[in-house]
């Protein structure tokens, strides 16, 4: 989770048994977007964000063919916390991080 995600989302996912790590907990809450995405890639974790700048960084990497671990993106005004939780839990349970390499997926999945 990047720093823009409400902590309620993190807590609710953990209560559902989903393994979640926030940038703040990892000590990377102050990193610029490229470094944060590098860290997620290093840890082999898909990064969830509601930050347009991070989305631009992931898109830039896709276009240049640069490796990254994958980004799930939801615009803050386009998804409720409930839908966010449902989609993230589904993704966590039904997929493997390797499936998200070099991908950007927009939530809600609908």
Dist. CA 62–CA 51, nearest whole Å:
17
Q: What pLDDT digit, counting tens, does each position of 36-61 carry?
A: 999 999 999 999 999 999 999 999 99
Q: What pLDDT digit, counting tens, does each position of 8-25 carry?
A: 999 999 999 999 999 999
Tell me the HSE value of 12 on the side-chain side, using a 13 A CA sphere.
Answer: 14
Element (H, E) at 106: strand 104-107
Residue ranges per domain, the chain? 7-107
Edge-first strand order for the sheet with 47-49 is 47-49, 71-74, 104-107
Whole-structure pTM value: 0.94
Dist. CA 93–CA 34, nearest whole Å:
27
């Amino acid at each position: 989770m990047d720093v823009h995600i409400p902590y309620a989302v993190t807590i609710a996912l953990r209560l559902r048994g989903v393994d979640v790590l926030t940038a703040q907990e990892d000590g990377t809450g102050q990193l610029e977007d490229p470094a944060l995405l590098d860290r997620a890639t290093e840890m082999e974790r898909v990064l969830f964000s509601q930050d347009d700048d991070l989305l631009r960084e992931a898109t830039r990497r896709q276009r240049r063919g640069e490796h990254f671990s994958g980004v799930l993106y939801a615009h803050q005004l386009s998804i409720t916390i409930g839908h966010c939780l449902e989609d993230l839990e589904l993704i966590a349970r039904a997929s493997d991080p390797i499936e998200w390499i070099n991908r950007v997926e927009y939530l809600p999945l609908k």
